[in-house]
Amino acid sequence: MATGPMVALRTATSVSATASAADHPTVRRRRYISSAILVGIGKYLLHTRLGQSMRTLATIVVVTLLLTVAPGGALAASATGPTATQASTTAPAGAAGTAALGAATQTDCSFPVSRVDATGTNVTVTGDPDRVVVLAPSAAQTMWELDEEGSVVGLPTGPTTAYLEGSGNRTDVTNQDGTVNREQVVGLEPDLVLAPNIVPNETVSQLRDAGLTVYKVDFGRSLDSITTKVSLFGRFTGACERAAQVNEEFNASLEEIRADAPEDRPRVAYFFFNVTASKGTFIHDAIETAGGDNIAADVGDRPYPPLSDEIVAERNPQWVVRPSSSSLPSGEPWSSTDAYVLDQTLTVDDNLISQPGPRVVEPMRNMSEAFQSTRQVQTDTATATVTGTPTAAGDGGDGDDNSDTPGGETSTDGQPGFGLVAGLVAAALGVLALARRNR
């Protein structure tokens, strides 16, 4: 939806309001680096005769460096417009809000329908849309869950939506660098465009100027945001009863997961290319609901900050959870954590954990099962020993034959597990990947 879970580096190339998540103290100490030099490097890289993939990588590196050394800034998730409800001008909050929305959709599913979006714009859908374009994987997942995939004519095709049956038959509405292909969207003549929070307001305005009805979805800050989005999309597409059913099943799954949560909550580190999830994200909410204690809950002032070596050493995670596209961190302090000593690492489906949609319950079940089997390191002897019943760790439940080969390199300059440039590139790739899966 992502978001799911979320923050995109690619947006920074077109929207100055978006800032890098890299805010580690070590990075701040390097802010004396000349922005002018970095700009020069960036221009050189971007205007040399490199292939598209190299230009894209150069953009990621340069923008990451620029945003890291530049003071201030805010993530796209928090700087794309005023916070607005997705269901009404004044929306009920939390579980009570979800219940109220569900009741409302069952009694009134007529058109036209108007809702205020994340840009503060009152968006009106005049009739049941026959042609819908979704600009994010999480929005596509939600439409599929509502059984409304038949109306979707355009979406971001590729690995982030390949798990949705028939998604490859739709028109791709993104450019090679992941940005929105406005001409393609307009050419599809959609009745409704559903845009994730990461899409720049400028792009939304341009699509509206072309005569399209565009609703920009707010940032997914919790699991409740998923049910709110389901109700909203159901209302927009006339699928109110199905939306209520999806939410009922989703909430029932959450209750089952909560009931199975261990009494002694293990310390959990979420690691995605050196980026983690802090409080105020649906990924944090997913970890906590599954019975884990997110060690990065209060880290930094960004939803998806870098995870520093200092935090890892101080808080000593008992589990390391990573999406299937990310390698595990290597070297100290990771190798001395309880998670590594006891081989308690878990790989979850990259798309389902990164996209704020109903299917996030699947990796949550994987986490819940793993956390229930947590073992402890015996620290009162000279040699650490394992207590409890050993359980398999590693690729834990996503069905992929993924390797747990550690990535990155051990740092000697205080960067979180990487050298300066390598660390920034890793963080950039992590944020970009999160954005492409729409937190």
Q: Does some domain include residue 306?
A: no
What pairing do the DSSP bridges indicate for beta strands 113-116 and 192-195?
Answer: unpaired
CB-CB contact of 416 with 425 (8 Å): no
Confidence of residue 345 (pLDDT cuts 50, 70, 90): very high
Lowest-pLDDT range of 96-110, 166-180, 371-385: 96-110
Lowest-pLDDT range of 15-24, 55-64, 202-211, 295-304: 15-24
Q: Is the pLDDT of residue 287 over 80?
A: yes
Q: Does some domain include residue 287?
A: no
Sheet containing strand 319-323, edge to edge, reads: 293-294, 267-270, 319-323, 345-348
Mean local confidence (pLDDT), 354-380: 94
Lowest-pLDDT range of 92-106, 314-328, 349-363: 92-106
Mean local confidence (pLDDT), 121-133: 99
Nearest to 284 by CA among 224, 195, 347: 224
Q: How far apart are CA 179 and CA 150, in angstroms?
A: 24
Confidence of residue 107 (pLDDT cuts 50, 70, 90): low
Note the maximum CA span of the chain: 72
> Residue 155 sits in a domain of what CATH number?
3.40.50.1980
Confidence of residue 427 (pLDDT cuts 50, 70, 90): low
Lowest-pLDDT range of 65-74, 335-344, 427-436: 65-74
Q: How far apart are CA 162 and CA 414, in angstroms?
A: 39
Confidence of residue 72 (pLDDT cuts 50, 70, 90): very low
Q: Please give the structure tokens belonging to residue 233.
A: 């999309």
Q: What letters, b where the CB count within 10 A reaches 16 and e where it falls short, cover 209-228?
A: eeebbbbbbbbbbbbbbbbb
Looking at the chain, the whole-number percentage of residues with pLDDT higher than 90 is: 61
Confidence of residue 217 (pLDDT cuts 50, 70, 90): very high
Domain extent, residue 128, equals: 94-248
**What is the DSSP code (8-state) at residue 218?**
P
pLDDT value of position 377 = 86
| DSSP letters spanning 360-424 | GHHHHHHHHHHHHT--EEE-SSSS-EEES-----BSTTS-------EES---SSSSSSS-HHHHH
Q: Does some domain include residue 98?
A: yes
Confidence of residue 378 (pLDDT cuts 50, 70, 90): confident
Q: Does some domain include residue 161?
A: yes
Q: Please give the structure tokens belonging to residue 363.
A: 């990796």
Q: Does some domain include residue 107?
A: yes
Q: Does some domain include residue 411?
A: no
Confidence of residue 356 (pLDDT cuts 50, 70, 90): very high
Q: Is the pLDDT of residue 56 over 70?
A: no
Q: Is the pLDDT of residue 327 over 60?
A: yes
Q: Is the pLDDT of residue 97 over 70?
A: no
Lowest-pLDDT range of 106-120, 160-174, 411-425: 411-425
Q: Is the pLDDT of residue 312 over 90?
A: yes
Q: Mean pLDDT highest for which of 14-28, 96-110, 254-268, 391-405?
A: 254-268
With tokens 């299937």, the residue in question is: 324
Composition of the chain by helix, strand, coil, percent to 5: 40, 15, 45
CA distances from 269 to 6, 100, 242, 292, 293 (A): 18, 35, 36, 9, 9
If one counts the domains in the chain, the total is 1
CA angle 299, 11, 174 (to 5 degrees): 130
For the packed helices 52-69 and 420-436, what is the interaxial angle rounded to 10 degrees?
110
pLDDT value of position 379 = 64
| Region at 110 (left for phi over 0; alpha for psi -120 to 50; beta for the rest) | beta
Mean local confidence (pLDDT), 304-315: 98
Mean pLDDT value across the chain: 75
CB-CB contact of 277 with 296 (8 Å): yes
Does pTM top 0.85 for this prediction? no
Q: Is the pLDDT of residue 243 over 50?
A: yes
Q: What letters, b where the CB count within 10 A reaches 16 and e where it falls short, cover 278-296?
A: bebbbbbbbbbbbbbbbbb
Per residue in 21-41, pLDDT (tens digit) is 333 333 333 333 334 334 344
Lowest-pLDDT range of 54-68, 141-155, 156-170: 54-68
Residue 268 pairs in a beta bridge with 294, 319
What pairing do the DSSP bridges indicate for beta strands 113-116 and 122-125?
Answer: antiparallel
Q: Does some domain include residue 220?
A: yes
Q: Does some domain include residue 103?
A: yes
